[in-house]
Chains A and B, each alone.
Chain A
């Protein structure tokens, strides 16, 4: 009597090995689909926008004529927006993170704040636009100014910064805190002189990534009522302005095909700004990647 049918075993094994190989390449192909999509996307935009990209494009204001249309107002407007968003969101985000990690006791209020931050991260950006329109533009009468848009964007990216800063603060080992307390330092001295310096690379990396998200967001700006055609540069935070994604949205939705080229050139500028910020984040992460 034979217990093992040698041929049947080999046959079945071959089948299983073939299935294994097929699926391996299927899974690899799926991963590559995402990469191919990214490559096509970038290639399309560069090949379309390259021809329009020039010094004049960076220094001209918006125009009805595609060949004269430039991105100056939007570029400067986005920088102004960052001048409001960066300090507001980083102070709020890092402050929240310090409270949650260093001071908060494990009670219902803390749990509620944590839960709330993760829920806030799932709210669509267009809804933040409605919040900004109601609170900042109308109730606080800031109008469609840089300040109103900046506050709205700050709240939008707040959850990302809080979570990033929390992780950075948590990764500071407890020995450092204990040593600081042991030397007679107070809690606040420990936070300012020991924990924050150690956590700053992580905090900065997370904040820069969050800020680059704020630069690319369009929907809240549209809802707030940020205009597109601006023929002057803002001089203060209460001024009206326009931003890179608004300008790109306007050009993309125009019917004349020439404006698609202009939109592609605008996207190249936006992506260059994002790439610049991301590489700064990577540099900070690599340079200060201290291990304890």
Chain B
């Protein structure tokens, strides 16, 4: 038999720990919520502390202006980060050239042209593309894209900047497409219908009304995608090689900041060596780059948002 309401109230009031739980839980949950803050603090502090140790051994200006990255040389190790930055930018540039036109076009198609049914099929497929692990993309770049590029342009080496660049581009297409589509879908229908009523074609509506109205969201999505490309690790580790170089060559082996960290970690850098500290200095530089991009994306979407 179920207890009567009076009994339930009586037994409920009898529980002393009820009040304790009500007091403890908010505090406990606040502590849990602050784990994310602690993580950020942890990232910044560890990067800064180890980077400072690095700068006691390598002069700061040699690091940020140096054009030679030769950490493994026994006699004359040099730590100038510019070649790693140039390598990263090469891959990012190609990825951006691939992903921005395709991503934005796909977003326009999905938000302006596609019927509800088509969109319901296409969007989940784009999400699958976004869920493929980067190691799989890396394998694809190395064993499929590079051989194809080599058969068309024989001067391209096995390890190069173009193949991982293209594949990183494919990886970030879903991100640009889906975030831009969200921005375009939030442009109110009345504006579109106004333009259509004036006799505009669908393309004119998309190009002259929707895209300008959603521009802040589109730019923010591109900036976020570029930030993702800068921090991408496995595709470049597998397909871009490990030759830090300070030049404009895209066809030969390069090295990015992320790939350097992986290369050193794989070789198990001895704790306390300059090379060990160098991965933190490189990691910190990478962190600063992506953080600036993320802040920029947040600023763009807030500052230039059109309110309807």
Contact = CB atoms under 8 A, between A and B. Distances in A.
Interface stretch (B18-26, B55-63, B89-97): B18-26
Given A34-B106, A222-B262, A252-B135, A122 B173 contact: no
Contacts, number: 247
| Residue from A123, A158, A162, A270 having most chain B Cβ neighbours under 10 A | A123
B64 interface: no
A233 interface: no
Interface stretch (B27-35, B66-74, B78-86): B27-35
A48 B82 CA distance: 39
A64 interface: no
Nearest to A221: B265
Contacts of A225: 265, 268
Interface in A90-147: 91-92, 95-96, 98-100, 103-104, 112-113, 116-120, 122-131, 133-135, 138
B202 interface: yes
A37 B145 CA distance: 11
B105 A252 contact: no
Interface stretch (A24-32, A53-61, A65-73): A24-32
A37 B98 CA distance: 13
Task: Identify whether the interface residues of B are mostly helix, strand, loop, or mixed.
Answer: helix
Contact of B201 (A20, A31, A223): A20
Nearest to B9: A184
A193 interface: no
B77 interface: no
B192 to A, nearest CB: 14
Interface stretch (A79-87, A172-180, A194-202, A210-218): A210-218
A290 B232 CA distance: 38
Nearest to B289: A124
A158 B35 contact: yes
B11 interface: no
A241 to B, nearest CB: 17
Contacts of A162: 36
Interface residues of A, number: 86
A289 to B, nearest CB: 15
Nearest to A263: B139
A109 to B, nearest CB: 9
A96 B35 CA distance: 8
Contacts of B271: 138
B164 interface: no
B16 to A, nearest CB: 14
B286 interface: yes
A19 to B, nearest CB: 6
Contacts of B268: 225
Nearest to A267: B136
Contact of A125 (B125, B202, B233): B233
Contacts of B231: 123-127
Contact of A112 (B37, B202, B291): B37
Contacts of B28: 95
A108 B281 CA distance: 32
A124 B286 contact: yes
Contact of B102 (A33, A98, A155, A188): A33
Given A20-B202, A253-B238, A34 B173 contact: yes
Contact of B262 (A104, A188, A219): A219
Contacts of A124: 230-233, 258, 286-287, 290
Contacts of B280: 130
A202 B269 CA distance: 43
A184 B12 CA distance: 11
A166 to B, nearest CB: 11
Interface in B32-53: 32-37, 39-40, 42-43, 46-47, 50
B283 A130 contact: yes
B84 to A, nearest CB: 13
Nearest to B258: A126
A260 B281 CA distance: 34
A162 B47 CA distance: 25
A123 B287 contact: yes
20 contacts: A23-B207, A28-B113, A30-B105, A33-B173, A34-B173, A41-B137, A44-B144, A116-B40, A119-B40, A122-B294, A123-B231, A124-B287, A125-B233, A133-B265, A212-B131, A219-B234, A223-B262, A223-B265, A245-B135, A249-B135
Interface of A: 16-17, 19-20, 23-24, 26-31, 33-35, 37-38, 40-41, 44-45, 48, 91-92, 95-96, 98-100, 103-104, 112-113, 116-120, 122-131, 133-135, 138, 155, 158-159, 162, 184, 186-188, 191, 209, 212-213, 215-219, 222-225, 245, 248-249, 252-253, 260, 263-264, 267, 270-271, 274, 278
Pick the 9 closest A-B CB pairs, nearest first.
Answer: A124-B231, A216-B133, A30-B105, A95-B32, A27-B109, A99-B29, A20-B201, A122-B294, A219-B233
